[in-house]
Amino acid sequence: MYYKIIKDKIEEEKKRKREMYSLHDEVILKEMLKEINLQFGTSLKYLSEVEMFTVPRAGKIVSQYFNRFQSETIRAYLLPWIVSDKIENCATIVYDAYNHFKESDEYISAPGKPSPAHIHVRYDNAFIRLKPKRMREKLILLANNPRDAFYLPFTVRMLASWKTPSLEKKLIEYMNSAGITAESVGITDSEDWYPSIYYIRRELLFTGIQGLQYYSSKEAKEEIEKYCNVPDVDIRTAAQKAMKRVLECGKKSESL
């Protein structure tokens, strides 16, 4: 099954190559894969192979080519290669690359175009895998931006698990997500955008609930409690789980 998936992806890449990446990136990809193949005895030829698996210890080679690629998709596919080897300054490379993505046309998809989820989910995974506490303040800046918080929900939850004081107020704002405007996430109220403002608000509500479970303040409890009996079963379940954790953490603190 795994072999068939790769084979199908390669065939699709052959058919749509010019749509998937530029000639500029194709030349760099071939050059990078040639160097990896020579050093590690592999026979990689396609981006689809880069997407599906990594070559241990090839992260250093990949990092030397990383910033030469124009495509945000290719850069995202290369992240696991860099992160798995935890090369020098790995967290900085990932953080700078995310900001590069933020400045690109792919950061917010045009109306009617697919979401860049295949890109931002890889950054979210990279940050939580690295757990770069020395980068806490920079990540908090991202968490304070509603679109970035939507793109990086597990990173926001990681920051909350570190009990970052300055994040609590922002999580409460996300729980009252009706106040998040389309303009604040770079779109309009039109449903032609994907994801829509309504979907973003809902996901930020979950991010707020899951993040606030690490805080035992009166405000955090009150905000979570608001959602413990709502009709929406998914929201209600998330809030009840969060409240259970908050109360358990409160009991542990009292016993110390």
pLDDT for residue 84 is more than 70 = yes
Q: How many CA atoms lie within 13 A of 131 on its CB side?
A: 5
In terms of pLDDT, which residue wins out, 253 or 161?
Answer: 161
Residue 10 has a pLDDT of 83
- For the segment 141-154, the average pLDDT, to the nearest whole number, is 98
- For the segment 6-31, the average pLDDT, to the nearest whole number, is 82
pLDDT for residue 112 is more than 90 = no
Residue 256 has a pLDDT of 45
Residue 1 has a pLDDT of 55
State which amino acid sits at residue 166: S
Q: How many CA atoms lie within 13 A of 3 on its CB side?
A: 0
List pLDDT tens digits, range 177-231.
Answer: 888 999 999 998 887 898 999 999 999 999 999 999 999 889 999 999 999 999 9
Percentage of the chain exceeding pLDDT 90: 76
Burial of 57-95, coded b for 16+ CB within 10 Å and e otherwise, reads ebbebbbebbeebebbbbbbbbbbbbbbbebeebbebbb
- Check if the beta carbon of residue 162 is closer than 8 Å to that of residue 189: no
Token look-up 């805080």 returns 215
What CA–CA distance (Å, rounded) separates 94 from 247?
Answer: 36
Residue 250 has a pLDDT of 62
- Check if the beta carbon of residue 193 is closer than 8 Å to that of residue 187: yes
- Looking at every residue in the chain, the average pLDDT score rounds to 91
Residue 83 C-alpha from the chain's centroid? 14
Token look-up 């998914």 returns 234
- Check if the beta carbon of residue 83 is closer than 8 Å to that of residue 94: yes
State the pLDDT confidence band at 135, using cuts at 50, 70 and 90: very high
State the pLDDT confidence band at 251, using cuts at 50, 70 and 90: low
Model-level pTM?
0.92
- Counting every residue written for the chain, the total comes to 256
State the pLDDT confidence band at 19, using cuts at 50, 70 and 90: low
pLDDT for residue 66 is more than 80 = yes
Token look-up 């303009």 returns 183
- For the segment 42-61, the average pLDDT, to the nearest whole number, is 93
Token look-up 């030469």 returns 68
What CA–CA distance (Å, rounded) separates 79 from 101?
Answer: 13
Write a three-state SS string for 6-52.
HHHHHHHHHHHHHHHCCHHHHHHHHHHHHHHHHHHCCCCCCHHHHHH
